[in-house]
Amino acid sequence: MKPGQTQRTPWIVGVSGASGTPYAAAVVRALLEAGEGVDLIVSRASRLTLLDETGISFRDAHWDEDLREWLSRGADGKPDTFDIQVQDVRHWSPVDLAAGPSSGSYPSKGMLIVPASTACVAGVALGLSKDLLQRAASVTLKEGRKLVVTVRETPLNGQTLRHLVTLDDAGATVLPASPAFYAGATHIQDLVDFVAGRVLDAAGVEHTLYRRWEGELGGGSRPT
């Protein structure tokens, strides 16, 4: 780093193969809107899910183009009015185990895995580090940084529950992708934004993705 430069300290966002790629898009958009840097790891399995849910092929060689297309889609898969700027996103291939996030000396504020499949949960809980996403999560835990695991599966079997307890014991925040309806949801995107907002709450990042509970029944609407 040159004298006078400010060290970039991003949030690492890992996207695993579970259904729920709109959650990841909402989290990345909100991080960028909050002025946060993002290091993005899109697993090989998640690329199949992304293709199935949106029709978008995420390619390492054209990741910036594909990311803009992905982030411009609403939860229904259709183009929305999001203003997307991806200048402060850095993409890492999931097979690059020599990437920056594979080392504890690489600066980051923490890591958000959204969505997290049960296979990803197991790999992180067991410390397998079979790809960069799992390795980055292990590094996040060992360095004592914030790790939010947004598990997206139902029902949960005993083995997965034990893995989640292991992650909780290790200091991770286990955050199931459980939309709420009290925030005045009228569209699919409202439900997606509620989960994304809870992820950002756990990370300590300010946002306006959903209406917060104020102790009064009714009267909610989508924030603008």
Give the model's pLDDT for residue 223: 45
Beta carbons of 123 and 130 less than 8 angstroms apart: yes
> Checking DSSP bridges between strand 146-151 and strand 110-116, what pairing results, if any?
parallel
Q: In which band, very low, low, confident or very high, does the pLDDT at 175 lie, cut at 50, 70 and 90?
A: very high
59 is known to lie in a ligand binding site: no
Give the model's pLDDT for residue 221: 47
**72-104 residue pLDDT tens:** 999 988 888 787 788 899 999 999 999 999 999
17 is known to lie in a ligand binding site: yes
182 is known to lie in a ligand binding site: yes
Phi/psi-derived region of residue 55, left when phi > 0, alpha when psi is between -120 and 50, beta in every other case = left
Beta carbons of 14 and 65 less than 8 angstroms apart: no
51: part of which helix (H) or strand (E)? helix 44-54
43 is known to lie in a ligand binding site: yes
**194 pLDDT above the threshold of 70:** yes
For 114, phi and psi rounded to 5 degrees? -150, 115
3 state DSSP class of 115: strand
**114-171 residue pLDDT tens:** 999 999 999 999 999 999 999 999 999 999 999 999 999 999 999 999 999 999 999 9
**195-223 residue pLDDT tens:** 999 999 999 999 999 999 888 776 554 44
**25-58 residue pLDDT tens:** 999 999 999 999 999 999 999 999 999 999 999 9
53: part of which helix (H) or strand (E)? helix 44-54
The total number of residues shown for the chain amounts to: 224
Beta carbons of 133 and 43 less than 8 angstroms apart: yes
106 is known to lie in a ligand binding site: no
Domains, the chain: 11-203 (3.40.50.1950)
Give the model's pLDDT for residue 218: 66
Cα gap 151→113, rounded to integer Å: 8
Give the model's pLDDT for residue 214: 83
Burial class (CB in 10 A: 0-12, 13-18, 19+), 91: middle
Give the model's pLDDT for residue 219: 57
39 has which bridge partners? 12, 90
**7-19 residue pLDDT tens:** 999 999 999 999 9
Cα gap 32→88, rounded to integer Å: 8
**1 pLDDT above the threshold of 70:** no
Report the largest interatomic distance among the alpha carbons of the chain, rounded to a whole angstrom: 54
